[in-house]
């Protein structure tokens, strides 16, 4: 139901270390909360490297506004970057068609870029890609192209 987490720490000139965790978590009823807790422990274990920016990105299987989504953003630790930039498009789906687990449900937004609150990054642009408009589709999920200002 989930995949391994890919973790990168990139040293950006004039900024410092940017930590990015790319995830694919399970649905809330299939282990999301335990997987998210494990992800948070993994991220915390890497903070001693002197990270200046922290992003968690990927397929969270947490529909926008629902309980699993609120579990991530509810305490203010992480900020949904798409919502930050496009609040009027909060529920815009991030996939098309009938994917596993969604056979009788409309498409929803379940793919995100979350930034740790207070870190010196500001999202400037964020658009869905691989949606046959920006680029041809490569999956049933769209990706995001995001541009950040580092300060």
pLDDT at 102: 55
Judge whether residue 2 has pLDDT over 70: no
Domain boundaries, the chain: 6-150
Judge whether residue 96 has pLDDT over 70: no
pLDDT at 33: 96
- Residue among 142, 58, 71, 57 at smallest CA distance from 107: 142
The structural architecture, per CATH, of the domain 6-150 is 4-Layer Sandwich (3.60)
Indicate the average pLDDT of the chain.
88
Banded pLDDT at 151 (limits 50, 70, 90):
confident
Judge whether residue 57 has pLDDT over 90: yes
């Amino acid at each position: 139901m989930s995949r391994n987490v890919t973790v990168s720490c990139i040293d950006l000139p004039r900024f410092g270390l940017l930590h990015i965790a790319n995830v694919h978590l399970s649905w809330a009823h299939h282990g999301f909360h335990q997987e998210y807790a494990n992800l948070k422990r993994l991220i915390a274990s890497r903070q001693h490297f002197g990270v200046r920016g922290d992003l968690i990105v990927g397929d969270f299987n947490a529909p926008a506004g629902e309980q699993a989504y609120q579990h991530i953003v509810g305490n203010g630790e992480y900020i949904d970057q798409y919502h930050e930039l496009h609040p009027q498009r909060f529920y815009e789906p991030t996939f098309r068609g009938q994917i596993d687990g969604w056979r009788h449900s409309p498409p929803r937004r379940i793919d995100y870029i979350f930034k740790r609150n207070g870190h010196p990054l500001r999202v400037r642009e964020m658009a869905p890609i691989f949606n046959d408009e920006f680029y041809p589709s490569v999956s049933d999920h769209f990706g995001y192209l995001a541009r950040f200002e580092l300060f």
